[in-house]
Amino acid sequence: MKLEHVELRRIHLPLVAPFRASIGTLLHRDVLLVNVTLDGVEGWGECTAFGEPMYSYEYSDGAQDVIRRHMLPLLFAQEEVRAEDLARILAPVRGHPMAKAAVEMAILDAELRAQNRSFGDFLGASRAQVDCGVSVGIHEHVDDLLRTVDGYLGEGYKRIKLKIEPGHDIDDVRAVREAFGDILLQVDANTAYTRGDGQHLAQLDELDLLLIEQPLPEEDVRGHAELAQVVRTPICLDESITSADIAEDAIAMGACSVVNIKAGRVGGYLEARRVHDVCAARGVPVWCGGMLETGLGRAANVALAALPNFTLPGDTSASGRYYAQDIVEPFVLAEGTLAVPTGPGLGVTPLEDELERFTVSVETCR
């Protein structure tokens, strides 16, 4: 299919409540959307970079710039553009996986819409619904944390993930475990600790957690392998896993026994599927992480999370977890699950009025 037209759209979507984690406090989501037209068929992509370079070096302004100035000229020069060829075509552009993933998602959406085929069918989804967990930000007061967790359990979420950092870890997690018994519970450190914190983190072992996610800096894979010898709680890698090859190496080193897959972090849904396959072949379970996506990114994530080796509930929360108004028809929790979209492509399209309401800029590229 020939790439004819690209629209780079920025939206600011208010969060229902401030979201605090080790990477900072967010009041709204600054989102870069990529809208492509190939042979007259539209496709949508969403960049998972934040407005500031706090989760990774990528950020929305930078992603828009590198797509416009460096990626699109390579794509417009092609007689035919296919999602499976994108990694090769964009190889001259080093890094920027979140930007590349947004472009790949948009092109794949258009391809699949043209074929009347869903994301889930293309990726290899093995079920029609996925179990959903929820990520709970850091709270200053434990009582507030307990009320928040109680509310999410009441909504039917099947797993609770607590953000932790020094000063908000052992006691907070213990309070949740004691208050709610044998719920599925895990924690996410977002690289907030060092190798010297092993004995401190080992205190989590008594709390019967599913896993501790990314306790050390992303580049310290060896440190995670050493930490796994001190902490009995399974180590899950998130930020460290940037490709299927790196996932394979991390597993071989003993740095993790669980992997969180984020399509944006690894450069797209095709590479995310490869990470899934590598982990499945080695008996390492995976789950789908979230980046406060709109309904566009959520649709793709739910399809990904329906693959066979996604055996743990992911961060595929309902739309209302983050947004009072989404830009697509909202994803609504049903008995702790979300349905995998079955329509062509992503299976969802933006609501025109809501898209315009939250748009702050539009850039057209041909």
Q: Which of 135-139, 181-185, 260-264, 306-310 is predicted least confidently?
A: 135-139
Looking at residue 106, what DSSP letter applies?
A: H
pLDDT at residue 26, as a whole number = 84
Active site annotation includes 163: yes
Task: Classify residue 63: in a domain, yes or no.
Answer: yes
Average pLDDT over residues 307-317: 96
105/181 same-domain check = no
97/140 same-domain check = no
Task: Classify residue 10: in a domain, yes or no.
Answer: yes
User: Per residue in 68-101, pLDDT tens?
Assistant: 999 999 999 999 999 999 999 999 999 999 999 9
Question: Can you tell me the distance from the alpha carbon of 340 to that of 299, in angstroms, rounded to the nearest whole number?
Answer: 7
Question: Can you tell me the distance from the alpha carbon of 342 to that of 290, in angstroms, rounded to the nearest whole number?
Answer: 21
Q: What is the percentage of the chain residues whose pLDDT exceeds 90?
A: 96
19 pLDDT tier (thresholds 50, 70, 90): confident
Contacts 24+ apart (CB under 8 A), 241-245: 241/265, 241/266, 241/275, 242/97, 242/266, 242/267, 243/267, 243/271, 243/275, 244/271, 244/274, 244/275, 244/277, 244/278
- pLDDT at 319 > cutoff 70: yes
- pLDDT at 54 > cutoff 90: no
- Nearest CA to 290 out of 315, 266, 267, 313 is that of 315
- pLDDT at 237 > cutoff 90: yes
Question: Can you tell me the distance from the alpha carbon of 124 to that of 6, in angstroms, rounded to the nearest whole number?
Answer: 28
Instruction: Report the CATH number that the domain containing residue 206 is assigned in CATH.
Output: 3.20.20.120
pLDDT at residue 366, as a whole number = 87
- Nearest CA to 99 out of 118, 126, 74 is that of 74
User: Per residue in 202-220, pLDDT tens?
Assistant: 999 999 999 999 999 999 9
Task: Classify residue 247: in a domain, yes or no.
Answer: yes
pLDDT at residue 14, as a whole number = 94
Burial of 181 (0-12, 13-18, 19+ CB in 10 A): exposed
- pLDDT at 196 > cutoff 70: yes
Print the domain residue range for 39: 3-116+351-365
- pLDDT at 195 > cutoff 70: yes
User: Per residue in 26-43, pLDDT tens?
Assistant: 889 999 999 999 999 999
The one-letter amino acid code at 180 reads F
- Nearest CA to 32 out of 365, 361, 322, 366 is that of 361
Q: How many domains does the chain have?
A: 2
22 pLDDT tier (thresholds 50, 70, 90): low
310/192 same-domain check = yes
Q: Which two tokens stand for residue 310?
A: 């996604």
139/236 same-domain check = yes
194/232 same-domain check = yes
Average pLDDT over residues 105-124: 98
pLDDT at residue 34, as a whole number = 98
109/162 same-domain check = no
User: Per residue in 270-301, pLDDT tens?
Assistant: 999 999 999 999 999 999 999 999 999 999 99
- pLDDT at 25 > cutoff 90: no
21/159 same-domain check = no
76/31 same-domain check = yes
- Nearest CA to 182 out of 202, 155, 153, 203 is that of 153
Task: Classify residue 129: in a domain, yes or no.
Answer: yes
Task: Classify residue 288: in a domain, yes or no.
Answer: yes
- Could you report how far apart the first and last alpha carbons of the chain are, in Å? 15
Q: What is the percentage of the chain residues whose pLDDT exceeds 70?
A: 99
pLDDT at residue 23, as a whole number = 65
pLDDT at residue 21, as a whole number = 65
157/8 same-domain check = no
Average pLDDT over residues 13-30: 83
212/324 same-domain check = yes
Residue pair 93/100 in contact (Cβ under 8 Å)? The answer is yes
Task: Classify residue 25: in a domain, yes or no.
Answer: yes
Question: Can you tell me the distance from the alpha carbon of 15 to that of 85, in angstroms, rounded to the nearest whole number?
Answer: 36
189/313 same-domain check = yes
Task: Classify residue 230: in a domain, yes or no.
Answer: yes
Active site annotation includes 158: no
- pLDDT at 55 > cutoff 90: no
Residue pair 164/187 in contact (Cβ under 8 Å)? The answer is yes
Question: Can you tell me the distance from the alpha carbon of 31 to that of 44, in angstroms, rounded to the nearest whole number?
Answer: 13
Average pLDDT over residues 299-324: 96
Instruction: Report the CATH number that the domain containing residue 15 is assigned in CATH.
Output: 3.30.390.10
68/131 same-domain check = no
User: Per residue in 152-192, pLDDT tens?
Assistant: 999 999 999 999 999 999 999 999 999 999 999 999 999 99
Task: Classify residue 344: in a domain, yes or no.
Answer: no
Whole-prediction pTM: 0.96
- pLDDT at 4 > cutoff 80: yes
Mean pLDDT for the chain overall: 96
Where is 12: in which H helix or E strand? strand 3-21
